[in-house]
């Protein structure tokens, strides 16, 4: 089984850049999307209901903003789209598809930078992290749980190309990294880092100017975290920087039956 996550930076724009071709060629059984930036009624029928796929969307109330989705070959037994705090639900950032005992979450964690890049949303971001983690804790008591998405945080210095110049930048602030560490200490496993513990140069997001992608000056902010029981079944964890269509690239895992 292959599970993939991709921040598409606008699904309608990504469709014009090959999204449907990727959907069919990726080998995915489950595809988690973030930053859909469209209401379901704004999508064409092929994107809303692609042949051979079940789709679940949770959009933001504000048009053209945020939004998450899950595409799956099998029909979910249940879909969860809300956190307890309504302030988080209006932004359309949290969706979970359950397949029997297994839970797969697609989450678009907030940025902390705010509109003026003043780090004014860091408190909101950390509160969202904590709310999501509480709900995911409940889910992983019921079975294997995978958390995929854009976490908007580079956890360690090897997760971005220029750590020293970004120490005061949201996405690499000490308090954001500490929150990520808290998740790891609670037993969530960063499956890519587990397989590649000391390798730098693996990034999932690049600025869209200044040759950042060409020079691989990026950040690893898209992750697959797994509960301990889920991590046991992971046979491969990968990042696909060669896939175009967004300023992020897809990340994913293959899992076996074990």
CB atoms within 10 A of CB 256: 10
For the annotated catalytic residues, the residue numbers are 150
* CB 160, CB 220: distance < 8 Å: yes
Which among 162, 178, 165, 164 is positioned nearest to 220, based on CA atoms? Answer: 162
With a CB cutoff of 8 Å and minimum separation 6, the contacts of 209 are none
CB atoms within 10 A of CB 184: 13
Reading the block at residue 179, the tokens are: 């929150």
With a CB cutoff of 8 Å and minimum separation 6, the contacts of 205 are 7, 150, 218, 219, 220, 221, 222, 247, 248, 249
Q: What is the dihedral of CA 11, 12, 15, 17, to 10 degrees?
A: -100
Grouping H, G, I as helix, E, B as strand and the rest as coil, residue 184 is helix
Q: What is the dihedral of CA 175, 64, 69, 253, to 10 degrees?
A: -50
């Amino acid at each position: 089984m292959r599970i993939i996550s991709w921040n598409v930076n606008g699904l309608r724009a990504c469709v014009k850049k090959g999204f449907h071709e990727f959907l069919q060629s990726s080998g995915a059984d489950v595809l988690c999307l973030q930053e859909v930036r469209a209401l379901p009624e704004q999508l064409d029928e092929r994107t809303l209901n692609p042949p051979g796929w079940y789709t679940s969307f949770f959009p933001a109330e504000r048009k053209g903003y945020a939004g998450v989705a899950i595409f799956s070959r099998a029909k979910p037994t249940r879909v969860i789209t809300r956190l307890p705090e309504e302030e988080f639900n209006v932004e359309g950032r949290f969706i979970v598809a359950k397949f029997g005992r297994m839970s797969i979450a697609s989450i678009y964690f907030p940025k902390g930078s705010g509109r003026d890049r003043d780090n004014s949303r860091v408190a909101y971001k950390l509160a969202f992290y904590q709310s999501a983690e509480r709900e995911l804790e409940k889910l992983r008591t019921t079975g294997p749980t995978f958390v995929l998405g854009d976490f908007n945080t580079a956890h360690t210095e090897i997760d971005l190309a220029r750590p020293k110049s970004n120490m005061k930048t949201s996405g690499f602030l000490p308090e954001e990294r500490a929150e990520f560490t808290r998740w790891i200490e609670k037993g969530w496993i960063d499956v890519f880092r587990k397989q590649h513990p000391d390798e730098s140069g693996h990034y999932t997001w690049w600025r869209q100017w200044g040759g950042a992608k060409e020079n691989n000056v990026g950040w690893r902010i898209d992750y697959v975290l797994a509960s301990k029981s889920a991590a046991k079944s992971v046979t491969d964890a990968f990042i696909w920087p060669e896939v175009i269509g967004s300023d992020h690239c897809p990340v994913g895992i293959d899992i076996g039956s074990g």
